[in-house]
Amino acid sequence: MNDHAIEYPAEPWRIKSVEPIRQTSRSYREQTIRQAGWNPCLLRSEDVYIDLFTDSGTNAMSDRQWAALMTGDEAYAGARSFYVLEQAVRTYYGYEHVIPVHQGRGGENIMSRVLIRPGSHIPGNMFFPSTRAHQELNGATFHDVVIDEAHDPSSGHPFKGDVDLAKLEAVIGEYGDAIPYVSLAATVNMAGGQPISMANLAAVRELTGRHGIPIMFDTARAVENAWFVKQREAGWGDRSIAEILLAMCSFTDGAVTSSKKDSFANIGGWIGLRDGELAERARGLALLFEGLHTYGGMAGRDMEAVARGIEESVEESSIRARVGQVEYLGHRLLAAGVPVVRPIGGHCVCIDALAVLPLLPREEFPGQTLAAALYVEGGIRGVERGGLSAGRDPVTGENRYPPMELVRLAVPRRVYTRAHLDVVADCVIRVHEGRDRIKRGLRFVHEPSHLRFFQARFVPAGGNSIFGG
């Protein structure tokens, strides 16, 4: 066993239904990525062998979730399935008022419209593209108050999602009343799936409480955060995941959740609030943008699947296997000397594209280039999380280049086997070993104005291919 070898936890489930996937030839993939404007997001999923683009909505539902679909009440108003979902959220997350939405960004839209005014300032533990886009659309400026270690791929800090209290205090000092809420994420996606500690949550609550500022929590991957608290934070090792999850949420005033992550659902989300008046305003907007407040854009059957998924997500064997699988992939790459974000995150392994391709200028999008190279090499699809994802500053129009330029390999839950992860690791290692062959990056031929990474098209900046020539 070398230093990086870790135990692979056997899955607490067996496979009941399978979906064929196919491997293609390298020349086919070269042609396909070119047709997709060198953007893996524009590939057809049939042309991808192992799809690590996202863990969002790509999870395998359990037999019980599938069975729950049949019990969905599709009544327009007051569906029984709404009350099932409401009860699950109240029990496991502790928010009294529950408003279903079609997915996370539906909730972000509503919460941003309810809480933000032009000129608002929102501190948070790192930005997430859709969250910040909705904040900015409503006239707010986002302030990153995460600890510095979150921006350093090589820092092994156990809680890289922690807020730097001095940074937060400085933003409060400067903008005071113009801060409608602090935006906290449980496991910070853009930092590589890094958790926030219970102690830090308590300290942020104490600080914001003194200023009367509420905390809004992004609970898309809060169960993964609870797992890390249990593993890493003194005093929590003996508590159940459900207890930790509830304790984490108790520090916050409300939540927006994408149920496509922790809750194993293919679609869905919800807003959770403690304040009845705020909830009433959010319900009013949900009517306009999502659907009636007892379905919010979800079918009754989807609400059943989410409710059942919430229960399954807090089972310890389930979350252990989930995070253990991601760690296995990460440690295989670390053992081979591939620069990846440390510690390995809850939902993804992130390759440090600036370390792999140090000679490529940021304007040529090293992360996007590396993502395209992984696809060409092995049919593996990851996603850029760097300058392309960060977009342009809404005021200056300049490209934003965050400190990290990553390729994220997000592992869907209960979908791939250890052998698949070995195929992924071998592919990444081969691309890393042959990295000198990647001579140039990419330049835009089409740049959308919002969340540009989803639909942007590129050509190689240096001629015909990213591999020179």
Interface ranges with ligand P61 (CB under 6 A): 54, 56, 103-105, 128-131, 185, 189, 218, 220, 258, 260, 269, 451
State how far the Cα of 100 lies from the Cα of 68, in Å rounded to an integer: 17
Shortest reach from residue 99's CB to ligand P61, in Å: 15
Shortest reach from residue 104's CB to ligand P61, in Å: 2
Greatest distance between any 2 Cα atoms in the chain: 62
Shortest reach from residue 267's CB to ligand P61, in Å: 8
Shortest reach from residue 53's CB to ligand P61, in Å: 7
Cβ atoms 148, 156 nearer than 8 A: no
Shortest reach from residue 236's CB to ligand P61, in Å: 22
* Cβ-based nearer residue to ligand P61, 105 or 440: 105
* Cβ-based nearer residue to ligand P61, 182 or 185: 185
Give helix then strand counts, H and E, for the chain.
Answer: 16, 14
Partner residues linked to 270 by β-bridges: 100, 257
The C-alpha R_g of the chain, in whole angstroms, comes to 21
Question: 279, 140, 124, 281: which is closest to 196 by C-alpha?
Answer: 124
Residue type, 140: A
* Cβ-based nearer residue to ligand P61, 33 or 101: 101
Question: 91, 101, 77: which is closest to 307 by C-alpha?
Answer: 91
* Cβ-based nearer residue to ligand P61, 325 or 465: 325
* Cβ-based nearer residue to ligand P61, 72 or 345: 345
Does a cis peptide bond (omega within 30 degrees of 0) precede residue 40? no
> For residue 171, what is the enclosing H or E element?
helix 165-175
* Cβ-based nearer residue to ligand P61, 128 or 440: 128
Which residue sits closest to ligand P61, CB atoms considered?
Answer: 104
* Cβ-based nearer residue to ligand P61, 134 or 432: 134
Structure tokens at 100: 């279903």
Shortest reach from residue 410's CB to ligand P61, in Å: 6
* Cβ-based nearer residue to ligand P61, 190 or 438: 190
Shortest reach from residue 358's CB to ligand P61, in Å: 25
Shortest reach from residue 12's CB to ligand P61, in Å: 24
Q: Is 382 helix (H, G, I), strand (E, B) or coil?
A: coil
Shortest reach from residue 221's CB to ligand P61, in Å: 6
Cβ atoms 124, 189 nearer than 8 A: no
* Cβ-based nearer residue to ligand P61, 32 or 389: 389
Question: Crossing angle for the helix pair 366-378 and 26-35, nearest 10 degrees?
Answer: 140
Burial of 379 (0-12, 13-18, 19+ CB in 10 A): buried
Expressed in angstroms, the distance from the first to the final Cα of the chain is 42
Q: What is the DSSP string of 252-266?
A: -SEEEEETTSTT--S
* Cβ-based nearer residue to ligand P61, 390 or 442: 390
Residue-wise burial string across 391-403, b where 16 or more C-beta atoms lie within 10 A, e elsewhere: beeeeeeeeeebe
Shortest reach from residue 305's CB to ligand P61, in Å: 14
Structure tokens at 67: 């069975």
